[in-house]
Amino acid sequence: MSIEKKVPNLDLTISLDCLYDGARLVVQYLRPNWKNLQFKLLTDGITNRLVQVWECEQNESEKILIRVYGVNTDLFIDRQAEMRNMQYMNEAGLAAPLYCSFNNGIAYGFTTGLVLDQDLVQEPKISKMIAQQMAIMHSLKPKCEDEPKPCLFGDLHRFLSLIPKDKSRNLNQEVDFMETVLPNIKSPVVFCHNDLLMKNIIYNKSDEKISFIDFEYSNYNYQAFDIANHFCEFGGVDSYDSNKFPNKQFQIKWIESYIEMYWQQSSNTNCDVPKDVQVINLYEQVEKFTLAAFLYWGIWALVQDINSSIEFDYMRFADERLNEYFKRKQILFN
């Protein structure tokens, strides 16, 4: 097992009102020779603030990202675990390097390429590469000797603890129901991204490579949850379109590509089980974990509606996810 590298920690707190000034101080520490700094505020995120910094005429791959944590996100995100996960993924060749941390954020490398959208993610060539990249990530060996435990229900209970009872919509009953049903499906526990929406997937056309970014929700979790959550994200963030959810044919094709790569990467391949049986089994597991994905982000949004300073309609986001949860629960469990 490799020893975790210590990253520098700066005694600096970046104000949300002075993002560029704070980012400048971080970059002056990391790249003291950079003089003509350029800044760009990236506005797609709904958890944190993100600033891209580079030196004029610098190679794009040398850009630095400064992430300033959203207000009170430390209540439901383990930031030390996030940094460990980023280093873990970087050591495996699956993520950009982590450069340093500061009191309310981190600085890390930029991943070059095209950010996916709802159309690109469904292109056969790209969807196959996403499936393969996820299979490689899921095949990483645990860095601890103890058997990993799934984070799903611990996260959900922690979210619920942050919501006043009069705003919780009795969702504790739904979490208890999921906790009764889903572990019996016996989905393997693997290292998951847990937040593979479109904006967290980068396609480098010149290298024909897919990369995942933003590992703040990453942890060991159920394999089927990570896949289901990715499919759920096809509907978008700003306004959910359930018609974009991939059909069975797409999912089966995607899962076939995933299982082929998972076979190559993993020593526990269930080779005695025919591939078509494995595909259908995983498809059925994913179908049920779709409920957990919609429930997870619906409850998460209720927490954010109370705490976040980012201008975003978290209540609408919560309503859309929870509506999908109850609709699909009715179909799957009558």
CATH code of the domain covering residue 52: 3.30.200
In a domain, 144, yes or no: yes
Q: Which residues contact 132 (CB under 8 A, 6 or more apart)?
A: 210, 257, 258, 260, 261
Instruction: Render pLDDT for 236-267 as a digit per residue (tens, 0 to 9).
Output: 998 999 999 999 999 999 999 999 999 888 76
As a whole number, the mean pLDDT across the chain is: 93
Asked whether residue 48 falls in the same domain as residue 84, the answer is: yes
CATH of the domain at 280: 3.90.1200.10
Cα 289 from Cα 285, distance rounded (Å): 6
Asked whether residue 155 falls in the same domain as residue 57, the answer is: no
Asked whether residue 81 falls in the same domain as residue 138, the answer is: no
Of the candidates 174, 214, 171, the one whose C-alpha atom is nearest the C-alpha of residue 194 is 214
Q: In total, how many domains does the chain have?
A: 2
Residue corresponding to tokens 């383990």: 78
Asked whether residue 102 falls in the same domain as residue 123, the answer is: no
In a domain, 3, yes or no: no
16: DSSP letter: T
Among the candidates 60, 77, 109, a domain finishes at 109
What pLDDT does residue 260 have?
94
Asked whether residue 189 falls in the same domain as residue 308, the answer is: yes
Of the candidates 103, 2, 46, 62, the one whose C-alpha atom is nearest the C-alpha of residue 309 is 46
Instruction: Render pLDDT for 30-57 as a digit per residue (tens, 0 to 9).
Output: 999 998 999 999 987 888 999 999 998 7
For 222, the 3-state DSSP assignment is strand
- Region of 71 on the Ramachandran plot (φ > 0 left; ψ -120 to 50 alpha; else beta): beta
Among the candidates 109, 138, 158, a domain finishes at 109
Of the candidates 304, 306, 300, 46, the one whose C-alpha atom is nearest the C-alpha of residue 166 is 306
Asked whether residue 90 falls in the same domain as residue 232, the answer is: no
What pLDDT does residue 304 have?
95
Number of separate helices (H) and strands (E) present in the chain? 9, 11
In a domain, 32, yes or no: yes
Secondary structure, 3-state, 229-267: HHHHHHHCCCCCCHHHCCCHHHHHHHHHHHHHHHHHHCC
Asked whether residue 25 falls in the same domain as residue 150, the answer is: no
Of the candidates 238, 244, 247, the one whose C-alpha atom is nearest the C-alpha of residue 120 is 244
Q: Which residues contact 206 (CB under 8 A, 6 or more apart)?
A: none
For 217, the 3-state DSSP assignment is coil
Asked whether residue 105 falls in the same domain as residue 190, the answer is: no
Asked whether residue 249 falls in the same domain as residue 144, the answer is: yes
What pLDDT does residue 270 have?
61
Cα 209 from Cα 5, distance rounded (Å): 26
Q: Give the HSE-up count for residue 295: Cα atoms under 13 Å, Cβ half-sphere.
A: 30
In a domain, 91, yes or no: yes
Which domain range does residue 144 map to? 114-333
146: tokens are 């103890």
C-alpha to C-alpha distances, 228 to 164, 195, 254, nearest whole angstrom: 29, 10, 11
Asked whether residue 78 falls in the same domain as residue 185, the answer is: no
Pairing state between β 219-222 and 189-192: antiparallel
Question: How many residues make up the chain in this entry?
Answer: 334
Longest C-alpha distance within the chain, in Å? Answer: 64
Which pTM value belongs to this model?
A: 0.94
Instruction: Render pLDDT for 210-225 as a digit per residue (tens, 0 to 9).
Output: 999 999 999 999 999 9
pLDDT-above-90 percentage for the chain:
86
